[in-house]
Amino acid sequence: MSESMLRAVLECYNFDGPILSCEPCGSGHINETYRVTCSQPGGRTRRYVLQRMNRSVFQDIDGLMENVANVTAYLRRSLLLSGGDPDRGTMNLLPTQTGKNYCTDPEGGCWRVFLFIEGAVCLDRVEKPQDFYESAVAFGSFQRLLADYPAETLHETIPNFHNTESRFCDFERAVREDVCGRAASVQSEIAFAMERREEAGALVHMQRDGLLPLRVTHNDTKLNNVMLDRETGKGLCVIDLDTVMPGLAVNDFGDSIRFGASTAAEDEPDLTKVEMDLSLFELYAKGFLEGCGGSLTDREIEVLPMAAKLMTLECGIRFLGDYLSGDRYFRVHREGHNLDRARTQFRLVADMERKWDAMHDAIRRVSGS
Ligand code: GN1
Ligand code: MG
């Protein structure tokens, strides 16, 4: 990102004080994130988060930003009514000088600014089990807080985002087209995925048959998409609202498990380090059900292990498909990065299959069923 471009973007905003610095931060795979620090009287500072949204991933930036603005305003109101902290319990957008919720740079890039949440941390790995539990409560509560949000007014920012059936079609197309000539070298990974093709649509079918309800969901419930209070360790605020859409509550659960209950990083090259930790699975389930406040149906609770497996499988085929397509979707930092990511996901799927009964026992324990 050129300095002059950044300067042009920063000029669209009325920051509270002169800008001292603007540096990259965060570890997301899609958007580009910076932290802007402004100076205030008395040597104090005020910070902001500046993000360039990924326009090839998000085709409808107006719709996306309308979702983000409306959902954060809704959360802010609920927090005010319930005695919560509206400045730390939700993201808050800073409008541009002309009152818009994002701005466009001379090359067509789209940018937005949020107030920085002070005294909070965002973790790429579970450091203490309690952190994972707190993130579960936060994602569960997020869903509960939005339970009465008018879902029909939300734009579908990425159509079929967790449609595991259409994800498989995309994957098969990537294998067929094999544009980089990489498919021959990953036959066993492709075969692993294809053996699970039929099962992949299980939850999609249940939703279609009216057995699972559509709810307002987050859809990207990685541990690093929740901020925890640095002092108390409590979940403060759910971030990365780009994929808030009507979806399955159980997928929000499943996506958290695939990322946070793993004993290794998402891109760990040494697969012997990768396992799904059963005690973290149970702890997350407990926190998530508490956060949801008793709103999940018995059937939703019953399919939580399946959702964990299918969200992991889906992510695996997305990474592998992207590897085959030349790494055009997920940002990569090394050769074979997306392949490493796909392999950890498949390793987790295989481990969940081994631990299947124990996962169900854990769910029965925490739900008292
Ligand atoms: C992306 O933006 P980020 O890094 O939080 C992706 C998720 C994947 C995740 C895998 C919009 O999330 O769906 O699960 O990477 N987000 C989008 O780490 O595709
Ligand atoms: Mg993120």
Sheet with 120-121, strands from edge to edge, namely: 120-121, 226-229, 235-238
pLDDT at residue number 105: 94
Residue nearest to atom 18 of ligand 1 (CA): 29
Summarize the confidence of residues 138-142 as an average pLDDT: 96
- Residue range(s) occupied by CATH 3.90.1200.10 in the chain: 129-367
- Residue range(s) occupied by CATH 3.30.200.20 in the chain: 3-118
Q: Are 250 and 304 in contact (CB under 8 A)?
A: yes
Residues with CB under 6 A from ligand 1: 28-30, 57, 220, 222, 225, 240, 242-243, 266, 315
pLDDT, mean over the chain: 97
- Nearest ligand by distance to the CA of 266: 1
Q: What CATH superfamily is the domain 3-118?
A: Phosphorylase Kinase; domain 1 (3.30.200.20)
SS (H, E, C) 99-122: CCCCEECCCCCEEEEEECCCCEEC
Q: Are 280 and 256 in contact (CB under 8 A)?
A: no
Q: What is the largest CA-CA distance in the chain?
A: 63
pTM for the predicted model, two decimal places: 0.96
- In terms of phi and psi (left: phi > 0; alpha: psi -120 to 50; beta: otherwise), the region of 220 is beta
> Distance of CA 216 to CAs 58, 65, 152, 245, Å?
19, 16, 9, 6
For 72-98, the pLDDT digits (tens) are 999 999 999 999 999 999 999 999 999
Question: What's the 41 CA to ligand 2 centre distance in angstroms?
Answer: 33
- Nearest ligand by distance to the CA of 240: 2
pLDDT at residue number 72: 97
Residue nearest to atom 3 of ligand 1 (CA): 28
Summarize the confidence of residues 196-215 as an average pLDDT: 97
Rounded CA separation 191/7 (Å): 49
Number of the ligand 1 atom closest to the C-alpha atom of 224: 5
> Distance of CA 334 to CAs 163, 220, 339, 341, Å?
29, 23, 10, 11
* Residue 282 token pair: 């149970």
Q: Are 49 and 33 in contact (CB under 8 A)?
A: yes
The distance of Cα 160 from the centroid of its chain, to the nearest Å, equals 15
Question: What's the 266 CA to ligand 2 centre distance in angstroms?
Answer: 13
pLDDT at residue number 196: 98
The distance of Cα 96 from the centroid of its chain, to the nearest Å, equals 26
Summarize the confidence of residues 45-49 as an average pLDDT: 97
Question: What's the 244 CA to ligand 1 centre distance in angstroms?
Answer: 12
pLDDT at residue number 211: 98
Question: What's the 30 CA to ligand 2 centre distance in angstroms?
Answer: 8
| C-alpha torsion sign, points 220, 223, 228, 232 | positive
* Beta-carbon contacts of residue 225 (< 8 Å; ≥ 6 apart): 122, 218, 238, 239, 240
Number of the ligand 1 atom closest to the C-alpha atom of 243: 11
Between 107 and 1, where is the model more confident? 107
Q: Are 321 and 174 in contact (CB under 8 A)?
A: yes
- Nearest ligand by distance to the CA of 238: 2
Number of the ligand 1 atom closest to the C-alpha atom of 27: 4
Find, among 235, 22, 29, the residue nearest to 121 by Cα.
Answer: 235
Between 348 and 26, where is the model more confident? 348
Question: What's the 360 CA to ligand 2 centre distance in angstroms?
Answer: 29
- Nearest ligand by distance to the CA of 219: 1
Question: What's the 225 CA to ligand 2 centre distance in angstroms?
Answer: 5
Task: Tell me the chain's radius of gyration from C-alpha atoms.
Answer: 21
Compute the half-sphere exposure of residue 58: CA atoms within 13 Å on the CB side of its CA.
24
Rounded CA separation 29/17 (Å): 31
- The CATH label, of 3.40.50.300, 3.90.1200.10, 3.90.1300.10, 3.40.120.10, for the domain at 129-367 is 3.90.1200.10
Question: What's the 114 CA to ligand 2 centre distance in angstroms?
Answer: 14
* Residue in 25, 27, 29, 244 to alter for ligand 1 test, most ligand atoms within 8 A of Cβ: 29
pLDDT at residue number 264: 97
Question: What's the 223 CA to ligand 2 centre distance in angstroms?
Answer: 9
Number of the ligand 1 atom closest to the C-alpha atom of 225: 5
pLDDT at residue number 1: 72
- Nearest ligand by distance to the CA of 331: 1
Summarize the confidence of residues 116-128 as an average pLDDT: 96
Residue nearest to atom 19 of ligand 1 (CA): 30
For 346-365, the pLDDT digits (tens) are 999 999 999 999 999 999 99
Backbone angles phi, psi at 235, to 5 degrees: -65, 130
* Residue 32 token pair: 């580009």
Rounded CA separation 325/59 (Å): 19
Rounded CA separation 309/290 (Å): 22
Confidence of residue 3 (pLDDT cuts 50, 70, 90): confident
Q: Does residue 227 surpass a pLDDT of 80?
A: yes
pLDDT at residue number 369: 82
Find, among 72, 121, 75, the residue nearest to 92 by Cα.
Answer: 72
Which neighbouring-strand residues pair with 315? none
